[in-house]
Structure 1
């Protein structure tokens, strides 16, 4: 009988995982969270089954790719409530979030959604939302931001900026900044217009962000 192949060693498994992560970083950044998983495995020189052994769901792979960047983003956002100027903290908040989104399509896809039931992602989203709310309220208390702006309004701008970044990525990759700065003027307390549409409450925003399915992991084309 022919000799059986030796099972993969721990070193082989580690090397395969790193190859998959490197391939996924490039694919997700360029094509977004829906980049084809079989293409990611192929670019890593591996079969799709190997990818699923390391990352059972698309969300598992996304988390592994984006976790380091998420922690760097959190460090930046955590520093903002300590800035002396409340308006500068508010401006920086929007620029930090929108910049992170514009640089990496999958990062934007991830931040714009919530995955109920997944503790890893809920902890990150929950902290970002809480910090953003602190920055907003401080700017409102200082009279720098209009009092009728809500946290949901900030995330609606985030979504809109993401679409601008995607549409202009290959022609004018920094155009999203112009859009954000125009919106910032709309948030200022002075010379304001009355808003004709009521703000969303937290539950409406959460429902709009939530990805349906068990643990929120069932992004379209999961496997």
Structure 2
């Protein structure tokens, strides 16, 4: 979507207006990527506009809805998400392909908190994004069927279990943040063990986070609640 060009503008002025509009769009996308990756999808559109150094009206002209912005920001990541199933299906070992897919997708979540949220939500109005999600889902169904047929994935495993894992992983990533950033790998290691049938080959279980790192993550989690409690305390005049 581009801004209407003023009547009577010269060709040079029109080109400059289009270039300015494109610069604004790129600034908005860069700002949204940064904020979503760091803080998740709870970031407001106003915060994106501030980070980009543009007004709310400019943001609205470039991206009429929140879904439009999310689609633009995460288009490449959704492509990589869908491609992960193709890579896994190309592995001649069905179980290894399945386990590799699980780890790859959870790693994508760990690299970007916003994408961790995207994988556990639906955006009906964001049709390109949802089309890629559907493609990835169909690939996952095939991965599950192949791994179960090989005898290495438990027969009771369901595609819904993958959604549960992604939700749990998103929670661990949000909770540990940069205090204990590799904790998600421990979760995935244990979950793969719960998914595996007897005899399936499993990678080495990643180590647990260091006690001090986990403590820092717990302190970090407590801070928002402490701040909220402080805000509720009655104010007394000095």
Report matched runs for 1:121-160 at 5 Å: 121-160=129-168
Per-residue deviation, 1:78: 1.3
Q: Does 1:91 align with 2:133?
A: no
- Once the two structures are TM-superposed, the CA of residue 184 in structure 1 deviates from its matched residue by 0.5
Distance in 1 (CA, whole Å) between partners of 2:153 and 2:41 is 33
Q: Any conservation in 1 of the 2:27–2:52 contact (CA below 8 Å)?
A: yes
CA distance in 1, matches of 2:146, 2:133: 20
Secondary structure of 1:186's match? Answer: helix
Alignment match, 2:172: 164
From 44, 58, 79, the equivalent of 2:52 is 44
CA offset at residue 117 of structure 1?
Answer: 4.9
Contact 1:140–1:146, Cα closer than 8 Å, also in 2: yes
Corresponding residue for residue 196 of structure 1: none
**Corresponding residue of 2:23:** 15
1:106 equivalent in structure 2: 114
> Matched residues in 1 for 2:79 and 2:133: separation?
11
Q: Deviating runs (4+, > 3 A) in structure 1? A: none
Q: Say if 1:114 and 1:125, in contact at 8 Å, map to a contact too.
A: no
The SS at the match of 1:166 is helix
For the residue of structure 2 that corresponds to 1:170, the secondary structure is coil
Q: Quick one: distance in 2 between partners of 1:180 and 1:84?
A: 22
Confirm whether residue 66 of structure 1 aligns to residue 84 of structure 2.
Answer: no
Structure number, greater radius of gyration: 2
* Partner Cα distance (1:106, 1:117) in 2: 18
Please report how far the alpha carbon of residue 73 of structure 1 lies from its aligned counterpart in structure 2 after TM superposition: 2.7
More off after superposition, 168-177 vs 117-126: 117-126
Gaps of 5+ in 2: 1-12, 200-238
Q: Indicate the larger mover: 58-67 or 119-128.
A: 119-128
Does the CA-based 8 Å contact 2:71-2:126 persist in structure 1?
no
Q: Could you say which residue in structure 1 is the equivalent of 2:207?
A: none
Q: Which moved more, 1:22-31 or 1:63-72?
A: 63-72
TM (normalized to structure 1)? 0.79
1:20·1:44 contact (CA, 8 Å) conserved in 2?
Answer: yes
Query: 1:68-102 CA distances to partner (integer Å, 9 max, x unpaired)?
Result: 12212322321211101111111111111111111
Quote the residue 2:62 is aligned against: 54
1:114 to partner: Cα distance: 1.5
TM (norm. structure 2) is 0.74
CA distance in 2, matches of 1:61, 1:34: 13
Deviation at 1:129, TM superposition (A): 0.9
